Structure 1
Amino acid sequence: MQETFTPSAESFAASAPGIGFFEKWLSVWVALCIVAGLALGNLFPGAFETLASWEYASVNLVVAVLIWAMVYPMMVAVDFASLRHIGDRPKGLVLTVVVNWLVKPFTMAALGVLFFEFLFAELIAPADAQQYIAGLILLGAAPCTAMVFVWSQLTRGDATYTLVQVSVNDVIMIFAFAPIVALLLGVTDIAVPWETLLLSVGLYILIPLAAGALTRRWLVAHANRNEGGEAAVARFTAAVKPFSMLGLLATVVLLFGFQGQVILDQPVLIALIAAPLLIQSYGIFALTYAAARAWRVPFNVAAPCALIGTSNFFELAVAVAISLFGLNSGAALATVVGVLVEVPVMLSLVAFANRTQRLFPTT
């Protein structure tokens, strides 16, 4: 089957020539924000306590604004019209849906229990261990939305496939995220505040998704004829993208400001949380990549397929962790560690995929 490109896919391919300087070094910026947060939290604890008090219905208002700044630009980039191509090259879509929703959340929960209830049991208090497990579950149940476009472009992936995958994931996420998280939290004996969980889905998935869809529709409808609707969308998302990154980094500063004393008392904590995340990331990639090769999926579908299953929608995980467990919770800390390890891991997998593309058919 020949590649099928919609105008949306062409626009995406043209507007995403590769990972930018800021994204490439995202882990460095996150690390610097961690240091800044730790320093500020210890120097000005009263200011952070005031920020923590600005909440309504378990939602911290400051963090909510920052999370919306992160999520909204990504949602504008989602083109639900691409769903009409859901039947094109179904093998890759089947693999990523199965991995994202039937494998990844459950293996992440299993690894969390293994590490924090058994392997690290002597190092971490039981109550803290439950919090870190909860954070890992939230990461595992939130498949990537935004950075998918970057990973796909770096492996010269099928642009239409990537758009379809993001759209399908977002639709499934609306209905499956809360039940899967509730199920896994229940299995691990963590109390499930259903009202807060559903509120988080509404705040951080439904509302940004609706706002993004409306913005996209308006941009396409009012685009200059010479420019085209998709070019207008690409220009708009490029303009608001810095706000997304600033929102992420400001959230990291806040989280580590609240966590400052805990982390300084336990300097190896970040490494302990990162261990199961690293195993999960490389394991999920290996599983999906091997399955794609066995099923003879073309490389320009197989590579994004495996990378999408590996990456996380960490912005959503951070937001829900804060809503469910609080700004200074271990769950929120675990999701931020996910941000720290994501970029270097994904870049290493992109390099591996590009080196092994000869193992896959081209069509």
Structure 2
Amino acid sequence: MSGFERYLSLWIALAMAAGILLGAVAPALIEAIAAAEVARVNLVVAVLIWAMVYPMMVGVDPSSLRDVVKQPRGLAITLVVNWLIKPFTMAALGVVFFEVVFADLIDPEDAQQYIAGLILLGAAPCTAMVFVWSQLTRGDEGYTLLQVSVNDVIMVFAFAPIVAFLLGVTDIVVPWGTLVLSVVLFVALPLAAGLLTRARLGTASRIAAFRDRIKPWSMVGLIATVMILFGLQGQVILDGPMVIALIAVPIVIQSYGIFALAYAAAFVMRVPHRIAAPCALIGTSNFFELAVAVAISLFGLNSGAALATVVGVLVEVPVMLSLVAFANRTRTRFS
């Protein structure tokens, strides 16, 4: 890792502080950024996510995708964790903490809202940010793309029924525009741009040199995204730090628990590290754009459910960076 990447946690912490400060001293700027939306996808954040994802997509070699079928175990772990385990453990943790552990600290109606927000997070596996985590762990670009693509297809059909079942309701309004636009913006278009770039560069040496030049922009995009997200939610953080801390507890436990489960399964099943690390990180990370959008559409902008999904955004980056560091330290344990 470069010196800049080695201290990425420090830059992220500074970006968090800068975002909160920016939200306090320049609220008009933050409001302008928040208003730049299409189907509840923030276009400014979309550009920054593009900066994160594009370097990874340039590394996707189409000829290597046919070799993915030789490693079905990594994909199987991802699908089992994401769709048969994660949504239900997140719902269970929400009930345990907000109906039992924190019952004396939170109003029962608010508690139900927070549980609903956690369910939305648990049912939405990551689409875009996982490419950054995969890159930081030297993951297999082609395999990561396959895992994300399969998850996206399943999400179209499974997200609403799972959320409806766990929320105990029958009429879930999924913002399909947000879902489709996010997949197109964060997966399809960057992939097309990456393949076109590879075709224009031609040789492997030129592709490698180009990736080395653009790789720093991936980290810049991550830091700028964190700063904007914290700027957008800075006032919420300052107004209710105690509530945010309580909501963060089950999210953090879920994140480390899901990673441990997937990573251990990959180790036992002898999945190579370049596949094992991304497959565990996909299950740990969340598609927060979709979770936030659904929470707002179902419960309202100022609801407890929307707040819980926003806390998921705030918690995700530092937690994921710690897991990336752990995955890199344990690389030699894998065959």
If the TM-score is normalised by the length of the shorter chain, which range does it land in? Answer: 0.7 to 0.9
Confirm or deny that 1:257 pairs with 2:231. yes
Match in the other structure for 2:122? 137
Any idea what the Cα deviations from partners look like across 1:304-340, whole Å, max 9, x if unmatched?
Answer: 4542233148997243345445698421331231112
C-alpha separation in 2, matches of 1:314 and 1:63: 21
Any idea what the Cα deviations from partners look like across 1:76-100, whole Å, max 9, x if unmatched?
Answer: 3333432211332444443344334
Confirm or deny that 1:193 pairs with 2:193. no
C-alpha separation in 1, matches of 2:105 and 2:5: 34
Match in the other structure for 1:311? 281
Match in the other structure for 1:174? 152
Match in the other structure for 1:243? 217
The AA in structure 1 aligned to 2:258 is I
The question of whether the paired residues in 2 share the 8 Å contact of 1:303 and 1:353 is answered with: yes
RMSD: 3.5
Match in the other structure for 2:207? 233
Query: Comparing 254-263 with 316-325, which one deviates more in the overlay?
Result: 316-325
C-alpha separation in 1, matches of 2:55 and 2:95: 34
C-alpha separation in 2, matches of 1:317 and 1:97: 15
C-alpha separation in 1, matches of 2:95 and 2:125: 13
The AA in structure 2 aligned to 1:148 is S
- 1:175, distance to aligned residue in structure 2 (A): 0.7
Q: Secondary structure at the match of 2:70?
A: coil
Match in the other structure for 1:60? 42
Query: Comparing 198-207 with 184-193, which one deviates more in the overlay?
Result: 184-193
Match in the other structure for 2:80? 98
The AA in structure 1 aligned to 2:227 is V
TM-score (norm 1): 0.72
C-alpha separation in 1, matches of 2:241 and 2:216: 31
Q: Secondary structure at the match of 2:320?
A: helix
Relative distance call for 1:20 and 1:183 in structure 2 (3 A) is: farther
Give every structure 1 segment of 4 or more consecutive aligned residues whose post-TM-superposition deviation is greater than 6 Å.
313-316
C-alpha separation in 2, matches of 1:321 and 1:75: 25
Query: Comparing 238-247 with 33-42, which one deviates more in the overlay?
Result: 238-247
C-alpha separation in 2, matches of 1:56 and 1:260: 22
The AA in structure 2 aligned to 1:288 is A
The question of whether the paired residues in 2 share the 8 Å contact of 1:67 and 1:319 is answered with: no
C-alpha separation in 2, matches of 1:352 and 1:282: 15
Query: Comparing 95-104 with 250-259, which one deviates more in the overlay?
Result: 95-104
The question of whether the paired residues in 2 share the 8 Å contact of 1:117 and 1:126 is answered with: yes
- Which of 254, 265, 270 is matched with 1:291 structurally? 265
Any idea what the Cα deviations from partners look like across 1:130-156, whole Å, max 9, x if unmatched?
Answer: 4641563266455933322432x4xxx
C-alpha separation in 2, matches of 1:94 and 1:315: 17
The question of whether the paired residues in 1 share the 8 Å contact of 2:57 and 2:190 is answered with: yes
Gapped regions of structure 2 (runs ≥ 5): none
5 Å-filtered alignment, 1:1-363, equals 19-124=1-106, 125-126=110-111, 129-130=114-115, 132-134=117-119, 136-137=121-122, 140=125, 142=127, 144-151=130-137, 153=138, 162-189=140-167, 192-194=172-174, 196=175, 198-223=176-201, 228=203, 230-269=204-243, 271-292=245-266, 294-295=268-269, 297=270, 301-312=271-282, 317-325=287-295, 329-330=306-307, 331-352=309-330, 354=332, 357=333, 362=335
Any idea what the Cα deviations from partners look like across 1:178-208, whole Å, max 9, x if unmatched?
Answer: 33432343234387432x2x32333222244
C-alpha separation in 1, matches of 2:267 and 2:38: 49
- 1:342, distance to aligned residue in structure 2 (A): 0.9
TM-score (norm 2): 0.77
- 1:68, distance to aligned residue in structure 2 (A): 3.2
Q: Secondary structure at the match of 1:72?
A: helix
C-alpha separation in 2, matches of 1:138 and 1:249: 26
Relative distance call for 1:243 and 1:332 in structure 2 (3 A) is: farther
Gapped regions of structure 1 (runs ≥ 5): 1-18, 154-158
C-alpha separation in 2, matches of 1:325 and 1:287: 27
The question of whether the paired residues in 2 share the 8 Å contact of 1:30 and 1:249 is answered with: yes
Query: Comparing 183-192 with 252-261, which one deviates more in the overlay?
Result: 183-192
